[in-house]
Amino acid sequence: MNLFNVYPLYQIIPSHAKGCYVYDKDGTKFLDLYGGHAVISIGHSHPLYIKELSNQLNKIGFYSNYIINELQQKVADEIIKQSNCVDYNLFMCSTGAEANENALQVASFNTGKSKIIAFKNSFHGRSNAALASTDNLSIKSKLNNSINVTFLNFNDKENLKKEICKKDVCAVIIESIQGVGGLNEPDTDFVKFLADICKKSNVCLIADEVQSGFGRTGDFFAFQKHGIEPDIISMAKGMGNGFPVGGVLISKKINAQFGMLGTTFGGNHLACSAVIAVLQTIENEQLMNNSKELGNYFIKKISNIKSVMNIKGRGLMLGLEFDFEVKELRKKLIFKHKIFTGGSSNKNLLRILPPLNIKKKHIDMLYDALKIELS
């Protein structure tokens, strides 16, 4: 049997990984400035992560959500402590798309409405409502047309107001920094306006923090820069450092009912132990500070390269914009300089999403490689 061929693959076969490095079968060492799509938050094979997961596996790896799992409460308490998002309840699931699907489902239950407002260039995942809210026609099927979504530009207050006034909207879903879409950010003034109009109109504001959450931008969640309180916050990626786990924080104002949401695998014991190890490491190693400091160092250092037109993003969620397509540059970085970076729907943008504990020397390595390729 062949594999269903949906991924254009680079010909690299990893055998093991440690910290910021991935090694292939021949022992070639690659610097991982992509974190497997912003997933590796505390570094590959972190000792505490291995210890927590191994200990948990020796006790109980899984049982379903029909008996008590005390670890879920521990995850909730730790997220509150580190994020300072106190007025929320936690529901755990397994992926980012599932987190957004659940967020949209709760919004629709809560308002009794079904229309969604999303933003141009958005990416929210591959399940039905999440994909319908994603602004990329090439990955949608007719099935996704059954969901009513309006796409707006960031900072377009007028059309936002017009749409919300129609009184059929259940949710506005927003990435405070777009990931796949290429690191675009709305203005604080717009985000505050959005939060305010949602509150006044009983529309659920969903912050998609799947990629930007868990300390990646230097704040626990990227929306916190704007001083707002969304009704629902979706999370995944860095939350499990590679273990498939996601979750939604749901405002205490929204009441839960038995059966409203559900999952077989979500929030299982092993998943919780991965999240606990991640949160402990973020705290022990002050990784939010490191994201902020190293993000600033990155911007300062890389701006010395003349052909970089623009550096977008914050913390360790960054994009380098050029006036040419980066496909060939990415290939050179991987195969010649042994550095993983990412692309985006903006073909001129190189995405940088390293583990949150990278050091200056790793940024210097990218700088040296770019110097060689671009001078």
Ligand X SMILES: Cc1ncc(COP(=O)(O)O)c(C=O)c1O
Which residues contribute to the site for ligand X (CB under 6 A)? 37, 95-97, 100, 123-125, 175, 179-180, 208, 210-211, 236
Dist. CA 312–CA 317, nearest whole Å:
8
Dist. CA 268–CA 226, nearest whole Å:
33
To ligand X, the closest distance from the beta carbon of 197 in angstroms equals: 22
Choice between 52 and 135, CB closer to ligand X = 135
To ligand X, the closest distance from the beta carbon of 334 in angstroms equals: 20
Q: Is-contact 33 366, C-beta < 8 A?
A: yes
Choice between 96 and 355, CB closer to ligand X = 96
HSE-up of residue 93 (Cα within 13 Å, Cβ side): 21
Q: Is-contact 147 129, C-beta < 8 A?
A: yes
Residue 113 neighbours by CB under 8 Å, 6+ apart? 167, 168, 169, 170
To ligand X, the closest distance from the beta carbon of 206 in angstroms equals: 11
Choice between 98 and 163, CB closer to ligand X = 98
Choice between 210 and 369, CB closer to ligand X = 210
Choice between 75 and 369, CB closer to ligand X = 75
Choice between 72 and 211, CB closer to ligand X = 211
To ligand X, the closest distance from the beta carbon of 250 in angstroms equals: 17
Residue 30 neighbours by CB under 8 Å, 6+ apart? 12, 21, 22, 23, 24, 334, 338, 339, 340
Dist. CA 216–CA 287, nearest whole Å:
9
Choice between 136 and 304, CB closer to ligand X = 136
| Residue 361 three-state SS | helix
Which backbone phi and psi does 274 adopt, to 5 degrees? -65, -45
Return the C-alpha torsion angle 98, 102, 104, 110, nearest 10.
180
To ligand X, the closest distance from the beta carbon of 6 in angstroms equals: 13
To ligand X, the closest distance from the beta carbon of 178 in angstroms equals: 7
To ligand X, the closest distance from the beta carbon of 307 in angstroms equals: 27
Chain-centre distance of CA 367, in angstroms?
Answer: 25
Choice between 95 and 290, CB closer to ligand X = 95
To ligand X, the closest distance from the beta carbon of 194 in angstroms equals: 17
| Residue 320 three-state SS | strand
To ligand X, the closest distance from the beta carbon of 234 in angstroms equals: 7
Choice between 31 and 118, CB closer to ligand X = 118
Give the max Cα distance, the chain. 61
Q: Is-contact 235 93, C-beta < 8 A?
A: no
Under DSSP, the state recorded for 2 is P
Residue whose beta carbon is closest to ligand X? 96
